[in-house]
Chains A and B, each alone.
Chain A
Amino acid sequence: MFVYGFRNGSLSLRTVVCGILLVALANCRHSPPSDRLVVINGPEPESLDPQVITGQPEGRICKALFEGLTAEDKEGNVVPGIAREWSVSPDGRTYRFLLRESCWSDGSPLTAQDFAASWQRALEPRIAAKYADLLYCIENAEAYNRGRLRDFSQVGVRAIDSRTLEVHLIGPTPFFPSLCAQSIFSPVPLAVVRRHGDDWIKPGKLIGNGPYLLDSWQINDRIVLRKNPRYWRQETVRIPWIEALAVTRASAAFNLFASGKADLILDKGLIPTFFLSELRKQPYFHSAPFLATYFYRFNVTTPPLNDPRVRKALALSVDRERLIRTVTRGGERPAHSLTPPGIPGYTPPTGLGFDPDRARALLAEAGFPGGRGFPPLTLLYNSSEQNEQIATEIQAIWRQILGISVSLRNQEWKVYLNSVQSLSYQIARSSWVGDYEDPFTFLGCFLRNSGNNNTGWSNDRYEKLLTEATVTVAPKERLALLHEAESILVKEELPILPIYFYSGIMLYHETRLGGISANLLDEHPFREIYFRTRSAADSADP
């Protein structure tokens, strides 16, 4: 998070704000239930076009406005959305979705043709959807998106009739129903898009099919949603109005929550980090595992990081538990794999833990006993207080345990991205948030041709295992292949150094709000949230 107008993390500021927030804790109270849920949603949404958005704040709003074939419930499970049911062919490559009778918010029927045409739009190069690659599991979708194929009828999406959509995939994709809950798979009202162009997402023009309608949108202030009376299960939606506030500053968000002006903070970036140890003791603080990993990348094209023994030594010398206890303090878990635990049916391999003796031995074996002769390295991170603290801690650990010198370099976000993506770094801080509950969302990043690899690393056996996994139908066997591939990544080769698994953090009073549940995807659909009645709240009060 960027802090303007003062030195990031300066002691004076921290002391002042921390003191102020501590006093605020004592005043933290909540208002009686109303018909309006006020949510602090994070930064101003870049767009509300479900096919071009990339961030969580936009995603939350879009999932309230549009519903795909499937949806997520409050537990993060994939449940039927507009599709009443679906079937999969024995080879796992063909999905047939049967749509329920539903309509757009203007009353016009929502058909399978709408879905096919919407997915075509998402794949059109001119739309330039940054998440279009989520559809690449569909036959010929990648070729169409990259302009190599002009005829959409060659793409594996077909509306058999108004209520049946058939999708042909390039291989068995057991997580495809979960993909269908992603915003880019949502239907969009193409007639409205054609009529209004870029303005179609504005209030009064936007037509959706989700539980809520766009009532108003005051830029960088608030988005107001009202219940959609034409939503197919509108009787289950219990809060008539949602106000999503655009707030980027943690202290402002907390002030609004503490003074009762907001009911719910959903964005992890809006929790004052220096204040976490106090905040965690409060009854309204809720944290849960989240499908995201904080890790360091090694540029394996530069010596001495081209030697796996060196990379292993660097990984073995990091005491993640201590880092989490002393630096992050937000309920994170130490990471020894890239994939976070919790994905159904998948146990990630346990990578290298803290073993300083073995780290020193490996470094000596690589030709640097006691760190002698080890060339100076630079650790790159994007400017943020927490990244700096972690980097400083790890720099000290490597100096103490391995006797090597690593200098720190921080860069502003866009400059940092440029450095990482052009391999102009030696060690770089990174993170990855899973898009769906499957290890492939993480492991696919380190394929040779993946644009998200950014390490220069590739491994034939890893490629083979992942390729094999994409054509394996049996879930158990497929996950075993992915497990083996991840073992190469975090036990043998280590182009990355996993540090911790993020936790999703929310602030809300359990006695006031219901329908929110911790889940790995950090999905909390508005349609499931409700206000507890006063009597229920009273009886729930300790």
Chain B
Amino acid sequence: MLAFLLRRLTGAVPVLLGVITITFFLVRLAPGSPFAGERAIPPAILQELEARYKLNGSLWEQYTSYVSDVLHGDLRLSTRYRNRTVNEIIGQTLPVSLTLGGSAFALALGFGIAAGVWAAVRHNRTADRLVQILCLAGISIPSFVLAPLAVLLFSLHWRLLPPGGWGSFRELLLPASCLALPYAAVVARLTRASMLEILPMDYIRTARAKGLPAATILFVHGLKPASLPIVAYAAPLAANLLTGSLVIEEIFGIHGMGSFFVEGVLSRDVFLVAGVTLVYSALLIGFNLLADLTSAWLDKRVQLS
């Protein structure tokens, strides 16, 4: 287990370095200067700006000096937001993205698993069909349609929840739900399919024959083995929720990392883009590792190798 962990963490270093390298060169080689604006900048000012951000040597020199700074934990100053370091921007926006993504993750798993189990138990009955229709709707309706509709109903029409902003539970509820809904639908379908495979099995019948309570049969004997595909899906789900919340962040005016990533790309802020990409990659690696460990804990046949 420890050897496995060490191997995976050691393997993450070249991956992260590769991510930084590709991001750095992609942004630096894209046409357009990070300092360009509609108003021309005198060449002397441009030189000063390039020197200030260490973007004045050859591309290779810029890259090596940047990697050296990253290895020392310094993600540099943002070229878009003068006076702000990328560390500071990430430090202030990552908790927001994590809170939004984490809430949506919990909602997606909670509602998805509950609906999936319920549909499997009520197989081929009205409840099952209703869950399937809702899942189809959840997967089909894009978030940029769902979120404005939710704002219209819950904020502007019924005035139950705020249409945007950040800081309170009420402000979190609407964006987290809108973000979670499509994923909850996927989890529900996965759970339902998995449970339908497990429920007819002999050991479940044995458990029933022994007179075990229905909840114990479903959630202990049934759901534990049935959750393997859900666990496998949880890592990309977590990554999607964290990186894919951009539309929701925009619609609800939430200051997460996603908007900074896009702004960084558009303004050629190489350090902001590379910094955010680095954090996203590290989280993705972390989630995958966590998913593997959970799978091994759920099913002893899974080998950590």
Q: Please report A residues at the B interface, Cβ cutoff 8 Å.
A: 2, 4-6, 12-13, 16-17, 20, 23-24, 27, 43-44, 46-49, 52, 54, 125-133, 145-147, 198-201, 218-221, 245-249, 251-253, 255-256, 258-259, 261, 412-415, 417-418, 421, 430-432, 450-452, 454
Contacts and interface: CB of A to CB of B under 8 A. Distances in A.
Contacts of B82: 46-47, 49, 52, 198
The 3 A-B pairs with the shortest beta carbon distances in the complex, nearest first, are A451-B40, A414-B32, A220-B255
B255 A46 contact: no
B257 to A, nearest CB: 10
Nearest to A414: B32
B268 A414 contact: yes
Contact of B33 (A44, A133, A248, A414): A414
Nearest to A201: B83
Contact of A5 (B36, B85, B144, B255): B144
B42 A259 contact: no
Given A248-B259, A417-B32, A46 B80 contact: yes
Interface of B: 30-33, 35-42, 44-46, 48-49, 52, 77, 80-85, 88-89, 92-93, 142-145, 148-149, 151-152, 155-157, 159, 162-166, 246-247, 250-253, 255, 259-260, 262-263, 266-268
B190 to A, nearest CB: 24
Given A27-B157, A220-B93, A220-B259, A255 B81 contact: no
A2 B266 CA distance: 10
Contacts of B259: 220, 248
A132 B159 contact: no
B32 A451 contact: no
B253 A252 contact: yes
B148 A20 contact: yes
Given A255-B155, A259-B159, A451-B40, A128 B83 contact: no
A147 B250 contact: no
Contact of A245 (B36, B45, B253): B253
Nearest to A43: B263
**Residue picked from A46, A220, A258, A414, most chain B C-beta under 10 Å:** A220
Contacts of A126: 48, 52
A52 B45 CA distance: 11
A463 B11 CA distance: 64
A12 B141 CA distance: 12
Given A249-B250, A255-B163, A415-B31, 12 more contacts: A2-B266, A4-B250, A5-B143, A16-B149, A44-B255, A126-B52, A246-B253, A259-B159, A261-B162, A417-B36, A451-B39, A451-B42
16 contacts: A4-B247, A5-B142, A5-B144, A17-B148, A43-B263, A44-B263, A46-B82, A54-B37, A132-B45, A198-B85, A219-B93, A248-B250, A255-B164, A258-B156, A261-B165, A432-B38
A250 to B, nearest CB: 10
Contacts of B163: 252, 255-256, 258-259, 261
Contacts of B42: 132-133, 145-146, 451
Contacts of A454: 40
B164 A219 contact: no
A6 B268 CA distance: 22
Contacts of B38: 417, 430-432
B164 A261 contact: yes
Contacts of A414: 30-33, 36, 266-268
Contacts of A128: 45-46, 48-49, 52
Contacts of A44: 81, 255, 263
A415 B162 CA distance: 38
Contacts of B255: 44, 218-221, 246
Contacts of B262: 2, 4
B144 A13 contact: yes
B83 A47 contact: yes
Contacts of A252: 163-164, 250-253
Given A221-B255, A418-B31, A4 B246 contact: yes
A133 B49 CA distance: 16
Nearest to A2: B266
A190 to B, nearest CB: 16
Contact of B156 (A17, A147, A220, A259): A259
Given A2-B266, A259-B155, A249 B253 contact: yes
B156 A130 contact: no
B36 A421 contact: yes
A130 B266 contact: no
A76 B52 CA distance: 36
